[in-house]
Copies of this chain bind each other. A is one copy, B any other.
Amino acid sequence: MITLSEFKNLVSLSKRDICREIYVENAEKIKVKKEDRVVKNLAKIFDATLAISNKKGFHAMSLRNLSEGAGLSMGALYSYFTGKDELLAMIQEQGRRLTTRILVEQVEAAPGLREKLRAGIVAHIYLSEVMQPWFYFSFMEARNLDKKQMKAAIESEILTEQVFADILRSGREEGIFEVADPDMTAALIKANLQEWYVKRWKYRSRGVAVEDYARFVIGWVEAFVCPGRPLAIE
């Protein structure tokens, strides 16, 4: 199984790259025009937003809190977004896009279906480890989205799940998996992936490494979908 640090090298998602992507997507809404400056300040704004929101909630974070945390005045903040709601949407959308992209990439790169299942599980857990604050934020603040953004969030949730459901269905056809209800199975797999970043504090306090967790989930899932055919997880 790939290790976390190998994964990091492989996907090379630097904070700068993510902020640059967000800048490009939202160029018309951002008043500041020098890319270097925008990227640098967006990174500070997002870091502070995630840090404060994940402690007490996005709604409870005032823009004065954010101003202090990001080291920018309130006036300056409004050069990077038109309002608090937009800041929320920017962070959420970027997180979703990144997840889907990396997950699909990693699954496609794997040779067989059992490998694809494993690759999907590992990719999701590692990604949520590297970007834990981002994942936690998306999860906890989804209900504060407006109608349109909410729809996008739900679609993304379903899409991720379908990646796993599709693998299971194909595997069933090929006789690799025994799975009566691929959608339900995919839903529970997803629940076990979310557990890693939602309850991160618990595993940290118990000293559970991310590789161990991934291995455990793979064993857990395969006991259900490949009964009687255990296969070592290297």
Point out residues on A near B: beta carbons under 8 Å.
55-57, 59-60, 140, 143-144, 157, 181, 183-185, 187-188, 191-192, 194-195, 199, 202-203, 206, 208, 216-217, 219-220, 223-224, 227-228
Of all chain B residues, the one with the shortest Cβ separation from A161 is B202
Residue in B140, B181, B195 whose beta carbon sits within 8 Å of that of A191 in the complex: B195
> Which secondary structure dominates chain A's binding surface?
helix
Complex-state Cα separation, A153 to B195, whole angstroms: 17
Q: Which residues on the B side are within 8 Å of A191 (C-beta)?
A: 191-192, 194-195, 199
Residue in B57, B181, B208 whose beta carbon sits within 8 Å of that of A216 in the complex: B181
Complex-state Cα separation, A194 to B198, whole angstroms: 11
Q: Which residues on the B side are within 8 Å of A144 (C-beta)?
A: 56-57, 60
Q: Which residues on the B side are within 8 Å of A55 (C-beta)?
A: 143
